[in-house]
Amino acid sequence: MRGEVMNNTLGTFIPNYNHGHLIERALSGVFDQELIPDQVIVYDDGSTDNSVEIVKRLQKKWPQITLIEGGKNIGGIHVSRKGMDLIQTRWINYLAADDAPASGIFAKAMAMADKYPDAGIIMGQMRITHEQTGAVKVTGVQGWDEPQYVSPDRFLNEYMRTHLPNHGLGSGTLWRKDALVECGGFRADLFSWCDTFAARAMALEYGAIYLPYPVVEKGYSETCYSHRMGRDMDVMLKVIDRGVQLMRSEQFRNLFPASYVYGWRRDYIKFLEQL
């Protein structure tokens, strides 16, 4: 779809598992926006708390919500893959049930999408609050201080080659649906690195829009999935091997230079050894 200007519709997809105590915060963040998404889907992944009852109550306030009760718990990555089929808009905002979009972000993001219709992703800073300590950290891309379109070459050389090998802004990313499907979506065998790989592949193909302010207000806990997986040496060595295999595959080898793949593997193993 390179060069083709389309209606930049936006859908929000929220996987939920036992976050009934936080889901209203996430949905309030969606519906308090200047630009309300065209689709809002909450997919409940077999919660055992009162999540479903809470979402049904919130549907009376926001009838735009579609609730899907998945029944058997299948895990966040598998639920997120379902979002590619269920969301029918050009752009997808994946929102964790314990996170909330930053104020006004959808209008800003779609304005940039109108300006740069070929971009594969829109990404920005994440404002992260540690749930145990209350400490707040804002993470983004160093040196990118203005809203901008970043070409594939700049994304590779100014971001991927200069930041830590595990650095990703998945929670602060909006995804162009056709490009996400094209790259294979979120791959379960990449565990917590699945969104980072997808974002890099899409940006290396189509370029990225970067917003130098928070896109999402994110909670963080040492018990969360990304923290646990990121510090499991056995899991992450499998992720590294699979990542190298993908980057060297016929589908992706023209996007990821061989020198980058070699350095990424070396640096990631060194990073894990220092944890």
**Residues of the chain with pLDDT > 90: what percent?**
86
* Residue written as token pair 């791959």: 187
Confidence at 1, pLDDT banded by 50, 70, 90? very low
The answer to whether residue 167 sits within a structural domain is yes
Give how many domains the chain has, as a whole number.
1
CB 138 within 8 A of CB 127: yes
The answer to whether residue 58 sits within a structural domain is yes
The answer to whether residue 246 sits within a structural domain is no
The answer to whether residue 88 sits within a structural domain is yes
Checking if the pLDDT of 131 tops 90, the result is no
**Residues of the chain with pLDDT > 70: what percent?**
94
Q: What is the CATH number of the domain that holds 81?
A: 3.90.550.10
CA distance 40 to 13: 6
Reduce the DSSP state of residue 271 to 3 states and report it: helix
pLDDT digits (tens, 9 = 90+) for 47-91: 999 999 999 999 999 999 999 999 899 999 999 999 999 999 999
pLDDT digits (tens, 9 = 90+) for 206-223: 999 999 999 999 987 666
C-alpha distances in Å from residue 17, one per residue of 25, 48, 241 = 15, 8, 30
CA distance 261 to 166: 13
Exposed e or buried b for every residue in 145-162, given b needs 16+ CB within 10 A?
eebeebbbebbbebbbee
CA distance 127 to 253: 33
Q: In this predicted structure, what is the pLDDT of residue 2?
A: 36
The answer to whether residue 231 sits within a structural domain is no
The answer to whether residue 227 sits within a structural domain is no
The answer to whether residue 273 sits within a structural domain is no
Contacts (Cβ under 8 Å, ≥6 apart) of 98: 19, 22, 25, 26, 219
CB 37 within 8 A of CB 110: no
pLDDT digits (tens, 9 = 90+) for 216-271: 999 876 666 665 776 788 999 999 999 999 999 999 999 999 999 999 999 999 99
CB 69 within 8 A of CB 15: no
Boundaries of domain holding 70 = 10-222
CA distance 110 to 98: 23
Q: Bridge partners of 92?
A: 11, 175
Q: In this predicted structure, what is the pLDDT of residue 3?
A: 38
Q: Bridge partners of 43?
A: 15, 68
Confidence at 92, pLDDT banded by 50, 70, 90? very high
C-alpha distances in Å from residue 238, one per residue of 49, 192, 243 = 33, 12, 8
Checking if the pLDDT of 5 tops 60, the result is no
The answer to whether residue 233 sits within a structural domain is no
CA distance 261 to 267: 10
pLDDT digits (tens, 9 = 90+) for 171-204: 999 999 999 999 999 999 999 899 999 999 999 9
